[in-house]
Structure 1
Amino acid sequence: MRSIAAAVSFFTLWLISLAICTVAQTAVLDTEGQPLESGVEYYVLPAITDVAGGLTLINRNNSCPLYVGQEPMTRPVVSPGFPVVFKPYANNGETIIRESRDLTVTFQAITTCIQSNAWRVGEEDPETGRRFIVTGGEPDYFAIQSNRGDYNFVWCPTESCPTCDRPRCGSAGILIQNDQAFLALDGPAFPFQFRRV
């Protein structure tokens, strides 16, 4: 009887600590100042206006998989790209997306590639040493971090793989190749904002 009471006490304390950790982490906010929600569509836009459009899918090698990149700057209308949906790794019933928590990012778009539109870390560019972010296959877990009112994407899975060897973590930024802007790790972080669709 005593061991059951101890197990119930331990479980209760664990639930309370989990709730405190969840509440303590700041919510990621959209352009209207509202918390991002799991399953809701958002455009990922540059925080610096007049730089380029939102994030989209790019056919880099005339074959699948598709790469995550940025719409080019076109006047008079700048494309917001394709919307994405965020899904937290630790989905304990909460729908709010919080800073520095593992999550998947998936484009809500129809493509000619018969594959998932979820983001994952792709191959390394031999010239720059930077890793492209691509779609298809098993999704990787990214996180959103605050940076002076804007947000950056990072890849450094912690919740999703607590026992893994320390990965080569990296911040996502823009890599220009052949007049196309790709999202890639291991360079300067690029500031983004999120606009609800």
Structure 2
Amino acid sequence: MKFIRLFCFLSLLVLFNTKPLQGAEPEAVVDKQGNPLKPGEGYYVFPLWADNGGITLGRTRNKTCPLDVIRNPDAIGTPVYFSASGLDYIPTLTDLTIEIPILGSPCNEPKVWRLLKVGSGFWFVSTGGAAGDLVSKFKIERLAGEHAYEIYSFKFCPSVPGVLCAPVGTFVDTDGTKVMAVGDGIEEPYYVRFQKASTFAQSNNQDLSSV
């Protein structure tokens, strides 16, 4: 009888343990059509309730290089590319390399995202990074909830103990530019949805280059 009770107790522990198993496959990030994001494909990154105001690159601070990641409220933005080491899809909560390869830019640095410190406890999401560098490891996190399947935010949270882990939000620069940033005063993440660039109807407000 004691053995039966012990077996039932252990079975209940397994039944109500909601933590993922070690080694489980990461959840795929999906676009607005429910399709998994793929490496090598460009995606527009739209704010939650609009198909405009997408992410692109621009000059901020003293209008010098490197380019920073900004939101352009008047255009759909520029396609963003993601890659995850060893995977053929883009997963949540996994170190990613993110790039906005604008052509014809006056700034020659790589267009890979990285954190660039602009003040005490405050960083802009900028460019000039490299795959594998600690400051270029970003994650995509899905908004929790039954009806939030296609809603995401970015985090700077490298899979390294003791490193900064914080949401990427929006900072309004002195000239009104909305810059993606991390740190003091950036409390709310910037919630987004993804649209595959090759399936989006092109229009005259496409932002091929904002610089």
What TM-score do you get using the length of structure 1 for normalisation?
Answer: 0.76
1:49: how far off?
2.5
Match of 1:138 in 2: 130
| Cα separation, 2, equivalents of 1:32 and 1:180 | 30
Match of 1:30 in 2: 31
Query: Once superposed, what is the RMSD of the aligned Cα atoms?
Result: 1.8
Aligned structure 1 segments of 4 or more residues deviating by more than 3 angstroms? none
Deviations 1:106-144 (A, max 9, x none): 002111111100000011335xx4311000143501010
Match of 1:195 in 2: 195
| Cα separation, 1, equivalents of 2:191 and 2:179 | 14
| Cα separation, 1, equivalents of 2:169 and 2:34 | 24
| Cα separation, 1, equivalents of 2:28 and 2:129 | 28
| Cα separation, 2, equivalents of 1:85 and 1:108 | 8
Match of 1:182 in 2: 179
Match of 1:86 in 2: 82
More strand by share: 1
Give 1:1-197 correspondences, 5 Å limit.
21=23, 23=25, 25-49=26-50, 53-60=53-60, 61-72=62-73, 74=74, 79-88=75-84, 90-91=85-86, 94-110=87-103, 111-125=105-119, 129-139=121-131, 140-148=136-144, 149=148, 150-158=151-159, 162=160, 165-177=161-173, 178-186=175-183, 187=186, 188-197=188-197
CA contact (8 A) 1:48 1:191 kept: no
Q: Which runs of 5+ in 1 are unaligned?
A: 1-19
What TM-score do you get using the length of structure 2 for normalisation?
Answer: 0.71
Fraction of identical pairs, as percent: 30
Q: Which runs of 5+ in 2 are unaligned?
A: 1-21, 198-211
CA contact (8 A) 1:103 1:142 kept: yes
1:156: how far off?
1.0
| Cα separation, 2, equivalents of 1:30 and 1:118 | 21
| Cα separation, 1, equivalents of 2:27 and 2:82 | 16
| Cα separation, 2, equivalents of 1:109 and 1:44 | 15
1:22: how far off?
5.2
Residue 69 of structure 2 aligns to a residue whose secondary structure is strand
Count of matched residue positions in the alignment of Structure 1 and Structure 2: 161
Q: Counterpart of 1:176 in structure 2: which amino acid?
A: V
1:102: how far off?
0.6
